[in-house]
Amino acid sequence: MEKVNIKNTDLYVPRICVGGCPFGGYGWGIVNYDDVIETIYSAMDLGANFFDTADVYGLGESERIIGDCLKGRRDKAVIATKFGVVFDYQTKRRYNNSEIYIRRAIEGSLRRLQTDYIDLYQVHYRDGETPLDEVVNTLKALQQEGKIRYFGMSNIHQEQALELKPFKDVFVSFQNEFSLACRKNEEDMHVFSSEYNMTPLTWGSLGQGILTGKYDKNVKFTKDDRRSRKEYVNFHGRKLSKNLKIVDELKKISDEINKPISAIAIRFILDYLKDSIVLVGVKNKKQLEDNVKALDWNLTQEQLDLLNKKSI
């Protein structure tokens, strides 16, 4: 399986990381737990052994189910999780990066994941208060205690470049939204991956599902699915129309080379962003198997240019 080294680490991981957000069962419409369990087992069998989750996904449920499924083969898997979004679905979203909060968060994650270490522990969002050197000191202490192996960032933008500069070799990775449907973070990602030497992980890599070709202009989600909300722009208004045009191009390539549409959308990222890792949320084994077909081949330069042109 096509792998990459996360810079400044001894981690060699598949270039597709199994995204655990839907595993939490919250905000993604219908999620069937038997399917999730089968998906995690299948991922391990296929060698797709890199999992991304967050303490807050399903208020701990995503970590819990990953922990259950990896029992007995924890050492064969690489687990990335995140902290910093306060557990609360009732009030406005809040963030906390304080030492006391991180210390509580790591214990919760370790317990739910049934492990004594996290491979990659990521700051989900900065809280706008705790100085970054304090966060780094806490993370380094956790590293020395053996509770985390490496740490990374998430949702970072150029405004944070100055703050991050002294810690260039400390944070090994970052994750931002990037896909054929979302190019707004491209410049930021370039700065952090090339100048700051951090490995880029992309989230929303299938535009939350629109780039799989299974939705059309009449797409409607139930109220309990976050994509029903206007802020999930990929499924609404002009952005939806534009995305469907990108899907038309993906379909043409898919017919030509006999690969799933989702695999082509993922391959675009793998070929376009050097040494990137693509996070993909999956709800069942079939989705996982289709997505893994993105590995171990390349788009032609012509296909890459065409998709690039369509999406910007």
Ligand X SMILES: NC(=O)c1ccc[n+]([C@@H]2O[C@H](COP(=O)([O-])OP(=O)(O)OC[C@H]3O[C@@H](n4cnc5c(N)ncnc54)[C@H](OP(=O)(O)O)[C@@H]3O)[C@@H](O)[C@H]2O)c1
Site for ligand X, rule CB under 6 A = 19-22, 28-29, 52, 124, 154-155, 175, 203-209, 212, 214, 262, 279-283, 287, 290-291
Residue pair 278/15 in contact (Cβ under 8 Å)? The answer is: yes
Nearer to ligand X, 37 or 141 (CB): 37
Phi, psi of 139 (to 5 degrees): -65, -40
* Cβ neighbours of 129 (radius 10 Å): 10
Instruction: Tell me, yes or no, if 150 is annotated catalytic.
Output: no
Q: How many CA atoms lie within 13 A of 224 on its CB side?
A: 8
**Shortest gap between Cβ of 93 and ligand X (angstroms)?**
11
**Look-up of token digits 């995140």:** 82
Nearer to ligand X, 78 or 279 (CB): 279
**Shortest gap between Cβ of 220 and ligand X (angstroms)?**
12
**Shortest gap between Cβ of 230 and ligand X (angstroms)?**
17
Nearer to ligand X, 124 or 147 (CB): 124
**Shortest gap between Cβ of 119 and ligand X (angstroms)?**
14
Which position among 57, 121, 125, 232 bears the catalytic label? 57
Residue nearest ligand X, CB atom distance: 281
Nearer to ligand X, 195 or 224 (CB): 224
**Shortest gap between Cβ of 28 and ligand X (angstroms)?**
6
Catalytic site residues?
57
